[in-house]
Structure 1
């Protein structure tokens, strides 16, 4: 098997992360919002505030995915992605730490995702 080029790996990282962000945002807003409302409800975030948080978070996710696809200021995009994941992880840990033990790993998967984002960030060393 031939080695995969750096450019191909970078594109794969961009496309896979973009898919993750866009699909997560769409799922949060359109496909399974009840899961988000359940999590928010357990933190006593309900009603209009829950709508704002859920739609705002989902929209942010979609925007990050689309931003990745533009390749505009990708290092800034990577830094923002890591910040968003850290905030989401901290909030979910405060709201319901049992998600760390969930068999499908909705929180633990954040660690390798952050590593992939850091890889992409470092691969764009020539950008500011």
Structure 2
């Protein structure tokens, strides 16, 4: 893969992770809270902590990929995405059938991460 293609894939992943972190916090009292409303432990402080922790994890991974790209960053992103996908599936399995594909989009993102993970480091 050319360095330009690798950069394009890397920058698109950085955008996804950082945008997700920002939107999660931006929508803290809106969609973020609604997504976790079905949890049995949906106390407002617990939900806030969960959203902020998820946003922080997304921001860390996004910045890691942006500033120190490499196998460790891509592997961490793949693990985080896998964990978040499993948690989201447990919370609301119907998201797999959502027309906008909030969970199905994770499959091509995983493919990009696997490709980058196996690319030789520059």
Q: How many pairs align? A: 120
Mark the structure with the bigger radius of gyration. Answer: 1
Q: CA RMSD in A?
A: 1.5
Q: What is the CA distance between 1:64 and its match in structure 2?
A: 0.8
Structure 1 segments (4+ residues) deviating >4 Å: none
Q: Secondary structure at the match of 2:36?
A: helix
Query: What is the CA distance between 1:46 and its match in structure 2?
Result: 2.6
Unaligned runs of 5+ in 1: none
Contact 1:37 1:46 in 2 (8 A): no
Of 103, 108, 112, the residue aligned with 2:104 is: 108
Distance, in Å, in 2 between the alignment partners of 1:70 and 1:105 is 29
Q: Is the 8 A contact 1:22 1:61 kept in 2?
A: yes
1:50 to 47, 51, 58: 47
- Secondary structure in structure 2 of the residue aligned to 1:103: coil
Q: Secondary structure at the match of 2:104?
A: coil
TM-score by length of structure 1 reads 0.87
CA drift of 1:79 comes to: 0.8
Structure 2 distance, partners of 1:48, 1:85, is 24
Q: Choose the corresponding residue for 2:64, options 56, 64, 67.
A: 67
Offset of residue 16 of structure 1: 0.6
